[in-house]
Structure 1
């Protein structure tokens, strides 16, 4: 029996208690003499809702279904048929997917899957029958029941019906047609924009005044030509002398003739008294006694005041002002009413940036403009002579180089400097050179050492020495480097020239010690001051009081409006305030050389005079 009889040995092993999922431990191992075959069945120890153990047969059915799904996928890949996925439960997914994807044989796929589910146990049993008779009873016990319940049969029926329904919709063909419809074909033609309709366009409104038509559409007549007295701002006046005829007076004016006679008298008597500085207490007391009234306010120029000068006479108060359009106004405060004492002259075509009475002859008033002309008004002869003219360059400032006013130094906006000798015939200048600055805004000669002069413009303040004059150019002797923005002015102190006050757009007033002309000039004081006048006001220019060596005057942006007097140490000495009479900013200020008289000009052409 040992050689012919089969030896059967069955080993049963229990699954490990630590495994909670599937167990891959072989449940039955059959060893045959002729042939050995191992069958693996996953075993799940989970319980169902009723608390019963799950039959391993169900797990084998799942494994069979998975094998069938892989077969279906391989078949689709061979046939090139796309797959359509639908939202179904996990149990129905494999059957419905195979039914939707197979359009040629939908019934075959459904019947095949259904057959797999119904005959799972029979197939397993048939596989084991060929191996031997010894495992028949064991296979029958393991398969249990081969029939499906009524619920499962109805469920499989619903799955097959749904699969047939989706197969009948021809979704693949429909999706292909939709893709063809959505895909845009490239156009080979040129697209042309359709012209907009006239009613859709927005019509821009235009001013009838600019179109020169009245509201009814009738063209307006040409405006009347301007009178000859109005001078174009950008056209220079013809060269040569101009008659001293006031523009605001019609015909022969007896009052102006009387003023000319008065000028002849005051020009004969000159004040030879020297300038002496008083103590600070006396100076403050004199400033406090200066007041203003309505009688001392008058409109002298057409537009804003850009320059001012006071006649040095001690018997009459005469103020001169230059405006933005080239007009020069004279105001005699002794005349009543006030309008009778105002006389205006059109001497230039652009800004009058500098006015000065001659130190040698007070009957001469010199005016300089940006239009490149420098004129001298001689009141003894009632004529405005042309001293210097250069149509290629714009002038910015001038000062007297000699005590007798025979020579002048003229600054140009392009940083050029000219030395003009009035004793020569005509209006030719003697010397010209270029400075090392970007531009020149103000220029002044040292009161004691006349060969020094200071120039301010841009961010530069330089002191030059005329003894080192060269035709190609001149280098500065001293440079001030403390300024952060553009400068409006720089002036020597009136008596000794030992101090220089500068006005800068960085809202600071600075005082420098120039008692020793060395390469380094020390900064003594910096006064915080609002210099932001804007474009509609003339820039502030701090100027020294001719009677006081250590005090300077400047306008103020503070409210109430005022004109301030500062000491060189930065201390505020006095503020001229009058809320009723002084209600505007006086950018330009000038003090009488010997009397307690202060004049300030604003942007409307009015002059305010404080008198002691």
Structure 2
């Protein structure tokens, strides 16, 4: 049966010499179009039609006039075979000989144009530029290079006669001369300009100290009356004043009932005295009796004409009757706080940042302490004496709050009477309640306020109540200290990080009773607060030296 031929195929005659072996064998040639210009035409695929001849799958030799790939050279007429043999290309087809000839002519043409030399030169130039950029070194600074320009504000230059405001920075030793040891005259910082005004302020302090307040019995009123009294205390613009230059670290309020007189100590060693009832600018004056932050202050309960203040290196008594700051104790171990051991304020317990405590007697000549005792603390932030049993005092340090008996203090090996447990981070303050001492409130860096029952003193005391409270004041604010209201045994006052800015009052059960706020006059955190012992007055101090007075 004869095989049908597909379209585009052609039969080839049998090769000479195949004879009868090739008879009956049909070949089909698949013709494909030539490739585009400049490309080698594809091979023709030859398929055997039968099993004879060379066998199935074997390719056929190219016919005369064909190239090696079986393509026909349309330009060749078979007459250039002699030239090809002479050139050594006898084995190539006419098409490939023509292709080689074109390549040779093109090479001669490009050689005449010198294209290769231009390309090589351009490549060399490009390579040099890239290498030079990669290896370029940074220019060295000249030795005599001028100092970088700074603005007039940073140079603290007064432009066009306009004074530059002072920056709230820690004073340097060059700007503020060191306060010498020993007694210092009670002279304000701006003596030359306001000498008479300062004398009026000190005279007022002396006058109100001579007036003995009535012996009113301390008692706790019912909670409704107390909350009503808190609501009646408001803040006005006249009762806000910048008293000291820098951050307030401690405050004390004079016990007088006839006139409101407040003292504030800042981080540079300044003490500001403010007669709040004096509505003019002359109501406040600043004194500099210390070199370091004034961390603790108290008016003497026996003689309010004495203001005792403690800094890192000295404990001083400002005696307005003699207009002098006496030096009671000097110690290079960095003192942190103090409290009176007796009602006549003749002796005091002093805490040290290094952890020790010391007993100081004001009647003893000299400025050394009577006893220095190691209580096992790494740091002592506050000390406080029991209001009834004066032999007991409490020390608060890192995670330790312990109560000791001063009668059994010795230089080493002191054991506490009782320990207040539960603190996981450093404790900022710990104070007995003012009337009976049966409660203690602490402020801890673990964001908790804790109240303890100290009516009895077992070896370990657990917290009676705990209040979640943001105590993360950071480095720019004085750490919070929760202080009891002297008029209310079971309520204490503490600063707050909440907005709007406020001062909070809590009960010993942990319940929030009242928040002192004023959107117009109170816009900062008051870390240090003090409450008047007999009147409904609260004073809060902030980090810029400003005092805020809430009163009826």
Could you say whether these structures have the same fold, taking a TM-score greater than 0.5 normalized by the shorter chain as the test?
yes
Map of 1:541 onto structure 2: 481
Question: Is the 1:436–1:476 contact (alpha carbons within 8 Å) kept by the matching residues of 2?
Answer: no
Deviation at 1:252, TM superposition (A): 7.3
How far 1:386 moved relative to its partner? 0.3
Aligned to 2:315: 374
Distance 1:378 1:474 in 2: 35
- Among 166, 189, 208, the alignment partner of 1:266 is 208
Alignment match of 1:239 (pick from 159, 166, 181): 181
Question: Shift of the alpha carbon at 1:449?
Answer: 2.1
Structure 1 position 160, deviation (Å): 6.3
From 227, 236, 252, the counterpart of 1:309: 252
In the TM superposition, 1:90-489 aligns within 5 A as 150=63, 155=68, 206-208=148-150, 236-250=178-192, 253-268=195-210, 269-337=212-280, 339-370=281-312, 372-390=313-331, 392-489=332-429
- Deviation, 1:321, is 0.2
More helix as a share of residues: 1
Greater mean deviation of Cα atoms: 256-265 or 587-596: 256-265
- Give per-residue Cα distances to partners, 1:566-593, cap 9 Å, x unaligned: 1111111111112122222211110001
Give the superposition deviation at 1:494.
1.0
Kept in 2, the 8 Å contact 1:233–1:325? The answer is: no
Write the distance in 1 (CA, Å) between the matches of 2:228 and 2:352.
41
The correspondence for 2:504, drawn from 549, 554, 564, is 564
CA offset at residue 241 of structure 1?
0.6
Alignment of 1:23-102 (within 5 A): 52=49, 54=51, 58=55
Going from structure 1 to structure 2, the CA distance change for 1:235 and 1:417 (only over 3 Å counts) comes to farther
Q: 1:289–1:252: structure 2 CA closer, same or farther, 3 Å change rule?
A: closer
For structure 1, the residue ranges without an aligned partner over 5 or more in a row are 1-46, 62-90, 92-146, 167-192, 216-228
Judging changes above 3 Å, is the alpha-carbon distance between structure 1 residues 266 and 156 closer, same or farther for their aligned structure 2 residues? Answer: closer
Alpha-carbon distance in 2 for matches of 1:517, 1:600: 33
**Shift, 1:559, TM fit:** 2.0
* Range 305-314 or range 230-239, more displaced: 230-239
The secondary structure found in structure 2 opposite 1:150 is: coil
C-alpha distance 56-352 of structure 1, shift in aligned 2 (>3 A)? farther
State the partner residue of 2:15.
none
Q: Which residue of 2 aligns with 1:493?
A: 433
- Once residues 370 and 185 of structure 2 are traced to their aligned partners in structure 1, the CA distance between those partners, rounded to angstroms, is 27
1:161-218: per-residue Cα shift (whole Å, max 9, x none)?
599999xxxxxxxxxxxxxxxxxxxxxxxxxx997666999x89713579x9999xxx
State the partner residue of 1:114: none
Task: State the SS of the aligned residue for 2:238.
Answer: helix
Measure the CA separation in 2 of the matches of 1:230 and 1:199.
Answer: 33
RMSD over aligned CA atoms reads 3.6
Compared CA separation, residues 148 and 405, structure 1 to 2 (3 A): closer
1:550 aligns with 2:490: yes
SS at match of 1:293: strand
> C-alpha offsets along residues 346-379 of structure 1, whole Å, 9 cap, x if unaligned?
0111111111011111111000112x11100111
Q: Is the alpha carbon distance of 1:236 and 1:438 closer, same or farther for their aligned partners in structure 2, counting shifts above 3 Å?
A: farther
Task: Count how many residue pairs are aligned between Structure 1 and Structure 2.
Answer: 438
Structure number, greater radius of gyration: 1
* Contact 1:249–1:343 (8 Å) recurs in 2: no
Distance 1:253-1:491 versus aligned 2 partners, 3 A rule: same
Alignment partners' CA distance in 1, 2:361 and 2:199: 31
Q: Mark the CA change 1:247 to 1:479 in structure 2 (over 3 Å): closer, same or farther.
A: same
**Distance of aligned partners of 1:199 and 1:301 in 2 relative to their CA distance in 1, 3 Å threshold:** closer
Which region of structure 1 is more displaced relative to structure 2, 264-273 or 48-57? 48-57
Deviation of the 1:476 alpha carbon: 3.2
Summarize the Cα distance change of 1:246–1:204 in structure 2 as closer, same or farther, 3 Å threshold.
closer
Q: TM-score, normalised by structure 2?
A: 0.71
* Distance in structure 1 (CA, Å) of the matches to 2:339 and 2:546: 25
Q: Is the 8 A contact 1:263 1:380 kept in 2?
A: no
* 3-state SS of 2:519 partner: coil
| Aligned equivalent of 2:81 | none
Return 5+ residue gaps in structure 2 as ranges: 1-27, 29-44, 71-88, 101-134, 158-170
Residues 150 and 306 (structure 1 numbering): CA distance in 2 closer, same or farther, change over 3 Å?
same
